[in-house]
Structure 1
């Protein structure tokens, strides 16, 4: 798709002048993705407009990444290029999200986890991590929704496993499953909060 886009138009979409460096291209791309991420818009028309804008931004970014002569000599950017170019793998977005979260880039992490969930609506860990990131950013409603969704999905998974067990052990398995799920979520929440608290102190 990016082959049909003129390179000058690609620079224009990203708000850059022709000849911008790979670092400037990457910085402009991240800034625009943050501004135009569809999750920032609640009105359906605005959300649709943002989705179209994101498509143009991604197309321009991929065009410049593939055409810039110096891109082949930027080994530190190779992994990121693959992450954003390959949009069919939810695992790549999840891994990118965890890396951005560890570096304190919470908005970028939120975008990555959202992409992972769109590609794989049953991605429990992505819901959990996005919930914690939302909590850190003060989006308490979204955080609660994501953590509840993850808990429900894990509960259904536990129930399926319980149904495959012997009849005499199903009731006790369900009870243990609910309490264990609660304990695991609480432990994970404490770990994430302590981890990010450590990062904030030392950044």
Structure 2
């Protein structure tokens, strides 16, 4: 795919996202992940780390709302959802979504998450967070790994058999981080959505069913 074709594809996805009411084309990445791995099944309590501009919060709200009516059987079900987003950037409010403007790597944020969900009851943790790239792929990848490592403590608040999605850059220490997730989840998959830039080294790791 040529650079011009790639740019046209991204512009088209952006316009389509706006047309459907989403704040960014990254919404389609989460829909792709959901279609492939069904991470939102019976999901009501959701934590979104690095949630600006809010498209993943929008998708989470849509799917959690659908779950309230979809799963009214004898298995795990809630009659409400709780969704918490955090980012160092401010976002426009979304009805029924709680957002905190804060650096989620700070130790004190953990207690706020625990209080919001009233303990280790989170069904799904998602993170599309990314560092501000410098243009140096090596240092960018190292810094992204550090950011990813800072999310692991929140897995203590993820319920048994809960799911986890995180963006990472392939390169140095990628396999080490992957192996850490394999210790915590029954299954871990690497996935590159079609909506990602073709030449990008970003990939999403999907942790399925926390041990």
- After TM superposition, the score normalised by the length of structure 2 is 0.29
Q: Which has the higher contact order (CA 8 A, sep 6+)?
A: 2
Higher helix fraction (1 or 2): 1
Higher strand fraction (1 or 2): 2
Instruction: Determine which structure has more spread, i.e. the larger CA radius of gyration.
Output: 1
